[in-house]
Structure 1
Amino acid sequence: MKPSAAPFRQFVLKVASRCDLACDHCYVYEHADQSWRGRPVVMSDETIAWSARRIAEHAGRHGLPEVHVVLHGGEPLLAGRERLARVADELRGALDGVCAMDLRVHTNGVLLDEEFCALFAEHGIKVGVSLDGDRVANDRHRRYANGRSSYDKVIRAVELLRRHPELYAGLLCTVDVANDPVAVYEALAELDPPHIDFLLPHATWDRPPPGLGAYGDWLIKIFDRWMTDGRPVSVRTFDSVLRIRDNRSSLTESLGPQPSDLVVIETDGSYEQVDSLKTAYDGAPATGMGVRDHCLDEVARHPGFGDRRSGTAGLSAQCRACPVVETCGGGLYTHRYRTGSAFDNPSVYCADLLRLITHVDEAVSGLAPHAFRAADIAALAAGYGEGGAIVALEGVQRSLRRALLGRVGAVATSPEAWRLLTLVDQESPDALNAVLAHPYVRVWAVLCLTGDADDAHLSAIAVTAALRAGIETSLRVPVRDGALHLPGLGRLDVGPVDTVTVTTGDGWFAADAGGRVRRVDLGAAERVRPVPGWSPVRRLVLGDLSVALDDVDPYRDCHEWPVADRLGEAELERWSGLLRDAWTLIVRDHPAYAPALAAGLTTIIPLVPRDDGRQISSAARQAFGAVAVAAPSDAVTLALLLIHEFQHVKLGAVLDMLDLYDAADTSFYYAPWRDDPRPLEGLLQGTYAHVAVADFWRVRRVLDEGAAARKAAIQFAHWRSQTAQALKTLNDSGALTETGRKFADAMTASVGRWLDEPVSPGAEDEARRRAEAHRETWARSAPLRG
């Protein structure tokens, strides 16, 4: 018989098909394939003998120097000591003189005792144990059918293996993002395992895992701790990423493009593909062949194995275009399944793998990812922050935006758009970063992932990135409300069509709407030869400050107040004058805020003014770099609003990087600037913003004259005391983390210095009256708030 081109080297023998635990995340019993119900409880003597014979026959035919065999289940120890000894004897007898064998057993550990250990020592069997972390983490899933904990018995088993280190193969942990990653890592590492294997829970696009999108960050927290600890234990996932970077083979089938060389033999002797395929659909791992009638070379020619042996060529088009495909390898084959397209998809964990691999690559390349100087954190906590601190925050945002884009791309309906984005990233990553830096790209991505927007905008992002990179390409782009929207560049009205074909070149693009083609030349050319229906984003450059006045982006309407439509020339001129005067005032009178604004404020969204003349402004949590403002009557007010709202922008980015409070806190608190009670993050955001408000009026009371100075003194007296009170509320909440307390302490130090600054008795009295009146009104409305 003609040998197969790619022999099997790993064999999983299902020696028992039942289990003594009832783990609710088990792929054998809890997922689509239920074939275990019709299989023998244990592997028969005849099946054992045939399995050993087929493995030896295959190894000899292919001249394999060694094979790896894992005794598995269900729970393999339920097969009993005598049967396990028979399996070991049959395998070693058949392979004697053919090749070496690495023999292991994978167990949940609850039955492991000294007699089993003696058996394993006699037959050279190493033992791997499943354990998901500390007691809380492990017992979240690994319990008996009656709900009893398995933890104590598993720990007893591991301690037994620690006394027999020659048998101890390592620990296998199924990831649950509900568990604390560092606590899980510490609990496992304390048990001195030779290896730890963190396993993503088996899932598909039809049945995604809970918390999808959080697995990459969960593993990153462990990776960072593992690196800090000096890599004290082998972690298979991390080691595999590092080995692939060094052009070595992966240690796991879940990573890398290497072909699969594993086959499963069930208790009835049937051959199966990797058994995680039981997650995909009923019968997914079946081959229709068995040890009595078929040799392993016949099994190797089964189409299911062929799909998994073609390397990157067998991956989806989206995977092949990905910059980390040689490391990721498309992820585990099972995790790519989706009804309709079978396995021709990226892994359901695509975005998580991209995030993890990118982070590991940055870390080991000596680029301390998102390194943040203590001085920068201290300056931000005090209420200010130099440009360098904002640049560091932007680095965090860039990674978040890329991770979000990867998650959208993993499920995108336009693989052409994703391929174009990966091409731009390979040829001109700065161009892609420039497009992703537009604040409302992240707003769209979050809406898309929560089901509140579709992924059509991905095509517009792709052609905008290609345009910025000067790449010549053509792509169909969906139309929204009769217009083509290119984020950060502008809007082209195209009429009542569903899509347009956009062609890009160096500094120009053309849109074909059903045969009507319009070309737009960007830069100075679009001002000299304006194209009907083209509304470019206008940019105002004032010394160190360069901001887009964006009145066309379709996702800018995410603020508390309505956004303004396209500004006319007179309105644009008024905005230009106001912003020029406000920036001059900030640089001259409030210079502590200017560097951060110049480095981080990229976009202003004009709002519709209120009919009652009340001034309004806003910052959106997902829109780093942008503030929304209704044009005020004077530059002093605009300067205050810019400083105030950019405080929210800064703190939002800090919260993306640092945990300042316990997210589980559900209490609501009094905030002196609001008529409604606020959650802890809302109180923290408002307090941080009003540190700057108090500081602004502190300066204005000295620089202004007459009525303006008196107004500023009252405002300063009011907001310094109210911000100090809010800081006390934060500290008394008991919900700040240690980092959060330090952050609040720095704010308190800033405000505390101002409490001793003199103001007139009249200003103090008026400030006190305002505070009391607000508190009384708030208290009276409490019953109405429920």
Structure 2
Amino acid sequence: MRITKEALFLRPRSVILQPETLCNLDCGYCYLPFRHARNTMPVPVARSVAQSIRPWTTYGTVDVCWHGGEPLATGRTHLAKLIDTFAGLDVKHGVQTNATLIDDAWCDFFAERDMYVGVSIDGAESDNTNRVDRRGKPVYDRVMRAIQLLRAYGHDLYVIAVVSDPTPDRARCLYSFATSVGIKSLGVNIEEQEGANARASVHDRKSVEGFWSELTRAWRANPVTRVREVDRVLSYVREVLGGSTGVRRERPFIDPLPTVAHDGSVTLISPELAGFRSTQGCFSSGNILTDSLGDIIERSAAKTPWISAFARGVDGCERTCPYFAFCGGGHPANRYFEQGRMSGTETEYCRNSKIALMEGVLQVAQLDPVGRPNSGTQYGTG
């Protein structure tokens, strides 16, 4: 695909595949629309994705993330067939899983294919009340057994935690949990109103800032677990303090992040939109069985109405939001499910996970002029 300054999308470097819609859990905040139905990706869909991303590997390793539903519900035999269609390509496979199905055989599977494993768990047992199985039973013990098994097999632990109650106490408990179980990298998603989850995500601004500040303090006091969101803020601050021109957002700057569903349908930018439709039609931009990912991405930038509306919203963010250089304009799923339109600007997601994040981290981050921690000047926004 051609990349020009006027283009909307960056050159793609990753793809998400949904090999199975079924999930064995019934989490209270889940956004997935088909998690109670079994729809399994056929091999030709994966093969078409592999053919599509071959040109992308010219520019480096492509990340292939198997997501869900619960991807391990696909079964090892079939998932192996899907992964094998990428043989010979410069790709890195990974899986994002609720971990309840992990056993020794799965640990061997991940090792044989050199896969990274992302585990979804929200912290200590008392913080996982939303994560239950189909019978409403807690799954914390099952996930912890899987985490211990992954560590025993030498797998690094990459965890994503959903936080529904962002407070300073919650932050301290979450980071303490992360360090106690040996998590290498922690990603934090404050619960979002999107997809099948209609619960509003409105929180007191100071409380959310306090959550991010306390998480930063906990990390600084014992920096053994990387915190994805803190990393992003500090990387941005280092660029600003270093005088980098890279902090200016000039097009193209949006990652197309194609998500390929079990049937080959392709949704761009926001995986959370996959399987949903608006009054204007479904959010899919095409199907991998009939068009390449490159063609779908290039065509969609100009000819998909909701993407054009989203681009107008991004323009509005750029004109009005002082955090735009850090944020880049938010995500379309949050705009649609919160506001009912793509052309809007600030959302609760922006307030909780971009603005409060930046303010909270800057309240405690102390950096020298080239971005190294020191005990001197404290940088904030007043």
What's the TM-score, normalizing by structure 1? 0.40
Q: 1:330 is paired with a residue of what secondary structure?
A: coil
Q: Percent identity?
A: 24
**Does the 8 A contact of 2:213 with 2:363 survive in 1?**
no
Cα shift at 1:306: 5.7
Quote how far apart the aligned CAs of 1:209 are. 1.3
In structure 2, the residue corresponding to 1:198 is in which secondary structure?
strand
Q: Secondary structure at the match of 2:159?
A: strand
- Tell me the equivalent position of 2:227: 235
Aligned to 2:238: 246
* 1:147 counterpart letter in structure 2: G
Contact 2:20–2:262 under 8 Å retained in 1: yes
User: What is the rounded CA distance, in whole Å, between the counterparts of 1:235 and 1:256 in structure 2?
Assistant: 24
1:317 is aligned to 2:316:
yes
Counterpart selection for 2:158 from 167, 170, 178: 170
Match of 1:342 in 2: 342
Residues 359/261 of structure 1: CA separation in 2 closer, same or farther (3 Å cut):
same
2:193 is matched with 203
Give 1:19's aligned residue: 23
1:715-734 counterparts in 2 under 5 A? none
| SS of equivalent residue, structure 1 residue 297 | helix
Amino acid at match of 1:201: E
Aligned to 2:255: 260
Question: Which amino acid in the other structure matches residue 214 of structure 2?
Answer: K
Indicate if the aligned counterparts of 2:187 and 2:227 stay in contact, CA closer than 8 A. Answer: yes
SS in 2 for 1:22: coil
Aligned 8 A contact 1:108 1:154 in 2: yes
8 A Cα contact 1:256 1:329, kept in partner: no
C-alpha distance in 2, partners of 1:88/1:308?
35
* 2-structure distance, mates of 1:124, 1:308: 40
The aligned counterpart of 1:270 is 265
SS at 1:211 equivalent: coil
Give SS of 1:227's match: helix
Q: Distance in 2 between matches of 1:256 and 1:226?
A: 28
Q: Which residue of 1 aligns with 2:85?
A: 90
Query: When the two structures are aligned, how many residues end up with a matched partner?
Result: 344
1:210, distance to aligned residue in structure 2 (A): 5.0
- Secondary structure of the 1:92 match is coil
What is the distance in 1 between the residues matched to 2:332 and 2:186?
A: 21
8 Å Cα contact 2:14-2:62 kept in structure 1: yes
Cα separation, 1, equivalents of 2:153 and 2:65:
19
**3-state SS of paired residue (1:331):** coil
Structure 2 residue aligned with 1:446: none
CA apart distance, 1:264: 0.5
Q: Does the CA-based 8 Å contact 1:169-1:193 persist in structure 2?
A: yes
Alignment counterpart, residue 137 of structure 1, candidates 127, 130, 135: 127
SS at match of 1:349: helix
- Of residues 287, 290, 300 in structure 1, which corresponds to 2:287? 290
Q: Is the 1:264–1:272 contact (alpha carbons within 8 Å) kept by the matching residues of 2? A: yes
Shift of 1:157: 0.6
Which residue is 2:74 aligned to? 79
Q: CA offset at residue 43 of structure 1?
A: 0.9
User: Is this contact kept in 1: 2:117–2:158, CA < 8 A?
Assistant: yes
For structure 1, the residue ranges without an aligned partner over 5 or more in a row are: 249-254, 368-398, 403-428, 430-786
Moved more, 358-367 or 84-93: 358-367
Structure 1 residues 285 and 358: CA distance shift in structure 2, 3 A: farther
Task: Render the CA deviation track for 1:597-621: whole Å, top value 9, x for unaligned.
Answer: xxxxxxxxxxxxxxxxxxxxxxxxx
Q: Provide the C-alpha distance between the structure 2 equivalents of 1:279 and 1:191, rounded to a whole number of angstroms.
A: 35
- Residues 40 and 268 in structure 1, CA contact (< 8 A), matched pair in contact too: no
- 1:163-214 CA distance string (max 9 Å, x none): 123x32411101111772211221122111111000122226x863153644
Distance 1:22 1:359, change over 3 A: closer
Contact 1:76/1:106 (8 A) holds in 2? yes
CA gap 1:75/1:341 in 2 versus in 1, 3 angstroms:
closer
Change (3 A) 1:343 1:187: farther
Change (3 A) 1:279 1:233: farther
Shift of 1:105: 0.6
CA contact (8 A) 2:16 2:67 kept: yes
* 1:135 to partner: Cα distance: 0.6
Alignment correspondent of 1:675: none
Question: The residue matched to 1:323 in structure 2 has which SS?
Answer: coil
Aligned to 1:300: 297
TM-score norm. by structure 2 comes to: 0.79
Alpha-carbon distance in 1 for matches of 2:72, 2:147: 15
Which ranges in structure 2 are unaligned for 5 or more consecutive residues?
5-9, 241-246, 369-379
**Residues 690-748 of structure 1, C-alpha deviations (whole Å, 9 max, x = no match):** xxxxxxxxxxxxxxxxxxxxxxxxxxxxxxxxxxxxxxxxxxxxxxxxxxxxxxxxxxx
> Contact conserved, 2:267 with 2:273, CA < 8 A, in 1?
no
1:256–1:328 CA contact under 8 A, matched in 2:
no
| Aligned partner letter, 2:200 | P
Given residue 215 of structure 2, which amino acid in structure 1 is its aligned partner?
I
Tell me which protein shows more helix as a share of its residues. Answer: 1
Give CA-to-partner distance per residue, 1:392-417, whole Å, 9 cap, x none: xxxxxxx9xx9xxxxxxxxxxxxxxx
> Residue 215 of structure 1 corresponds to which residue in structure 2?
208
Shift of 1:285: 6.7
Shift of 1:282: 4.9
Q: Tell me if structure 2 keeps the 8 A contact 1:203–1:334.
A: no
- Residue 43 of structure 1 is aligned with which of 33, 41, 44? 41
Residues 86 and 4 (structure 1 numbering): CA distance in 2 closer, same or farther, change over 3 Å? Answer: farther
CA deviations on 1:471-511 (whole Å, 9 max, x unpaired) are xxxxxxxxxxxxxxxxxxxxxxxxxxxxxxxxxxxxxxxxx
Q: Which amino acid aligns with 1:106?
A: Q
Residues 618-767 of structure 1: matches in 2 within 5 Å? none
Give, as a single letter, the amino acid of the residue that structure 1 aligns with 2:344: D
Deviations 1:18-76 (A, max 9, x none): 000000111113xxxx5x67x862111222222222222x426xx32110000111000
Letter in 2 for 1:107: T
- Highest RCO, 1 vs 2 (Cα 8 Å, sep ≥ 6): 2
Corresponding residue for 1:378? none
Match of residue 120, structure 1, among 110, 116, 121: 110
1:65 pairs with 55, 60, 68, which one?
Answer: 60
Shift in Å at residue 278 of structure 1?
A: 5.4
Does the CA-based 8 Å contact 1:203-1:279 persist in structure 2?
no
| Worse-matched range after superposition: 14-23 or 278-287 | 278-287
Partner AA of 2:108 in structure 1: A
Tell me the amino acid that sits aligned with residue 356 of structure 2.
R
Return the letter of the residue paired with 2:364. A
Out of 192, 200, 203, the position equivalent to 2:182 is: 192
2:99 maps to: 109
**2:295 aligned counterpart, secondary structure:** helix
Counterpart amino acid of residue 217 in structure 2: D
Q: 1:260 touches 1:308 (CA, 8 Å); kept in 2? A: no
Distance 1:163 1:361, change over 3 A: same
Query: What is the SS of the residue equivalent to 1:12?
Result: strand
Evaluate the alpha carbon distance shift between residue 278 and residue 289 of structure 1 in structure 2; reply closer, same or farther with a 3 A threshold.
Answer: closer
Cα distance in 2, alignment partners of residues 336 and 217 from structure 1: 25
Distance 1:346 1:202, change over 3 A: same
Q: Aligned-pair distance for 1:256?
A: 9.8
The answer to whether the 8 A contact 2:273-2:283 is kept is: no
Q: Which position in structure 1 is the counterpart of 2:361?
A: 360
The whole-number CA distance in structure 1 between the counterparts of 2:309 and 2:184 is 29
Q: Distance in 1 between matches of 2:131 and 2:359?
A: 32
AA aligned to 2:328 is: G
Mark the CA change 1:130 to 1:207 in structure 2 (over 3 Å): closer, same or farther: closer
Aligned 8 A contact 2:193 2:201 in 1: yes
Q: Residue 155 of structure 1 aligns with which residue?
A: 144
